[in-house]
Structure 1
């Protein structure tokens, strides 16, 4: 596909292909790099979740006189009851799973954005090239009109019309140049570049866009897509948080061991001290947090269902867009563009020979320009549909292969 978008020799400098753009984006895009940090954050939280609570060392003295005082040295250790540590670890592990899937989903989103950006730059590049051709056609028409006016075979109005047409297509060429520069900058930003360090984009293969799977094939893979797996992991994460909240109903036991030295009238007496403390869950049984986590788990299930509906709709719409735009692209390639180009050539030659008026030339030129613009719009629909699918499913071309 995009065969007409091949334009080697656009400018002297570095050209990039879609694979280079994707590699650069995966390596240097700052948002993707920031998302990758979540993996390390989740690892740290998992490590912290498995740690035991620290013991507490205490020292206490009653009395300040050297002959009459009591000194107690002890150490206390909280003992977590009810499986709190295991529940914390399970929640942290679900967080690790979610971080990994979030990174994969972000990578797929970036892939889709780079595909759209790359082919947007390719279209803008082609639009400028076509605008240059339109300028050449208009210049040829102006030259022919001026020649016929000088020969007395046409009214000066013909030359004026040709001059206006040339001015219009030159404005279009300037707009196309600005659009190309903007498209290059958009692509460069996705690649993690402050400024575009390339002067052209290329399509190494004429039929670069892959043949997308059918709707049924893609929808069967929906459950394995990163967004759906992430939504399912959010449910598991919510259930793990609910389990942890339930363990908080059971109070922790504090065990303390120590030694007490009592000095009275110069006589010393040392005894061992053992203590237990356990809060009584009479009022606070963590019932509010349990209710909140239960509702969050329910919310995660609703969001998972909403995600599935959204992705199904996105898949079907993108495939319909792809199919419709492909029909348009094929029609422009096979019939409309060649016929419009032939009409311009015939009208221009006929005007030079005095068989047609310049209005006929203008009409043919404008028809060709409109057809080219519609062709590029159809190509935009095709590449946009591809990008939308890649955002959900990842590299569908590799999966098809």
Structure 2
């Protein structure tokens, strides 16, 4: 009867990976919440918006200067204004430079930070999932071991099993209970990290993570690389920097050309208020110290070459990152499928055979214990591979610049 109970609990242990809970947290909901509430993303977004707001001031004329003067010699009041007007094209170039700086911040800091936080959120989500599953697995295994201990103790009383089998079972149970405590701590730590990324309060219970239905990844490396070269935010930011330096070179070349100052002044007799005439004024600065402009142009060209080198390096790193991450994703995808479809089912079958043999007194307790340990380890490894798959997939999405479904 005792061994029949063991058999039923073995079936329960091998039949599923956890107990469904009422409150769940879907991955897409976690990603949405982190995008909306994460402080790092919000800070990067505000920095981009601030840089975008700075475009209008630099591409518009400086403020005019109003003047009120009194000529004591001629007894006249004078009212006028002056306006500085940069040479044609300078304001437009300054606006384009500011626009490229804003786009560089958008791509290199805001969008890249958003993708980075999303990748970290997904990693934390699946670490939370793996820790939660480990708690369930160790809890199920410890319950099974308690039943085994009762059976072995009963056998020891009747002389069918040795005291060493009882001690082995008790030690194994102690190890499982210790690991159960450790994995509960790990689960709580992963939940806390997820709360940080979601900008939740520390004691918030976000809900239980949900395991994906399948791990179907059908993209080719060539397809993903083409998407990454087009969409990767860091690559776009490097291109923005290159364009900014090209525009800066064009602007510094225009510094050889003068800026203008126009003015208008009306005069009135101070004692009678009678109109006494007006003055028109046009002046320009003379950029005689041309070596200053020459140095600025040379510096800008060097920065342009630097930006080109940085862009080329980022492009090369994109090829490298895609190759490494794609290989890892495909590898862990294969491992997950092999564990789910072949290795774990065989381990279940081995445990059932060992249990049947133990019931028939055809094998000893060590074989049953080894079979149980093997299945336990494989179930834990399975979720470790799930974490690695999802972590590398998240990094791949960060490089590609979009979600991969």
Using the size of structure 1 for normalisation, the TM-score is 0.84
More displaced 10-residue stretch of structure 1: 369-378 or 341-350: 341-350
> Which residue is equivalent to 1:80?
86
Alpha-carbon distance in 2 for matches of 1:198, 1:258:
70
3-state SS of paired residue (1:187): helix
Per-residue Cα deviation, 1:207-249 (whole angstroms, up to 9, x for no partner): 1x44241011112223321323332222112222332233333
Over 3 Å counting, the alpha-carbon distance change for 1:170 and 1:28 in structure 2 is: same
> Which residue is equivalent to 1:333?
340
3-state SS of paired residue (2:263): strand
Over 3 Å counting, the alpha-carbon distance change for 1:106 and 1:132 in structure 2 is: same
Q: Quote the offset at 1:80 in angstroms.
A: 0.9
TM alignment of 1:1-400, pairs within 5 A: 7-10=18-21, 12=22, 14-61=23-70, 73-102=79-108, 103-195=110-202, 196-203=204-211, 206-207=213-214, 209-227=215-233, 228-259=235-266, 270=276, 272-283=278-289, 285-348=292-355, 350-351=357-358, 354-398=361-405
Give the conservation status (yes or no) of the 8 Å contact 2:76–2:269.
yes
Q: Quote the offset at 1:320 in angstroms.
A: 0.9
Over 3 Å counting, the alpha-carbon distance change for 1:352 and 1:166 in structure 2 is: farther
Aligned residues: 386
Alpha-carbon distance in 1 for matches of 2:32, 2:125:
13
Give the conservation status (yes or no) of the 8 Å contact 2:255–2:287.
no
Where do 5+ consecutive residues of structure 2 fail to align? 1-14
Alpha-carbon distance in 1 for matches of 2:372, 2:353:
11
Alpha-carbon distance in 2 for matches of 1:147, 1:322:
49
Give the conservation status (yes or no) of the 8 Å contact 2:64–2:81.
yes
Give the conservation status (yes or no) of the 8 Å contact 1:255–1:276.
yes
Alpha-carbon distance in 1 for matches of 2:376, 2:19:
22
Alpha-carbon distance in 1 for matches of 2:218, 2:174:
42
Q: Quote the offset at 1:169 in angstroms.
A: 0.8
Alpha-carbon distance in 2 for matches of 1:123, 1:272:
84
Q: Quote the offset at 1:131 in angstroms.
A: 1.3
Give the conservation status (yes or no) of the 8 Å contact 1:110–1:391.
no
Alpha-carbon distance in 2 for matches of 1:269, 1:174:
95
Give the conservation status (yes or no) of the 8 Å contact 2:17–2:136.
no
Give the conservation status (yes or no) of the 8 Å contact 2:125–2:209.
yes
Alpha-carbon distance in 1 for matches of 2:382, 2:312:
38
Per-residue Cα deviation, 1:38-77 (whole angstroms, up to 9, x for no partner): 44323311211232111222344566xxx77676544222
Where do 5+ consecutive residues of structure 1 fail to align? none
Give the conservation status (yes or no) of the 8 Å contact 2:66–2:81.
yes
Alpha-carbon distance in 1 for matches of 2:171, 2:322:
46
Alpha-carbon distance in 2 for matches of 1:225, 1:6:
38
Per-residue Cα deviation, 1:143-200 (whole angstroms, up to 9, x for no partner): 2222222222333222222111111011111122122222222223222222343231
Per-residue Cα deviation, 1:270-321 (whole angstroms, up to 9, x for no partner): 5644444433323263333333332222222122111111121111111111
Alpha-carbon distance in 1 for matches of 2:78, 2:371:
103
Alpha-carbon distance in 2 for matches of 1:68, 1:90:
49
Give the conservation status (yes or no) of the 8 Å contact 1:7–1:202.
no
Using the size of structure 2 for normalisation, the TM-score is 0.84
3-state SS of paired residue (1:332): helix
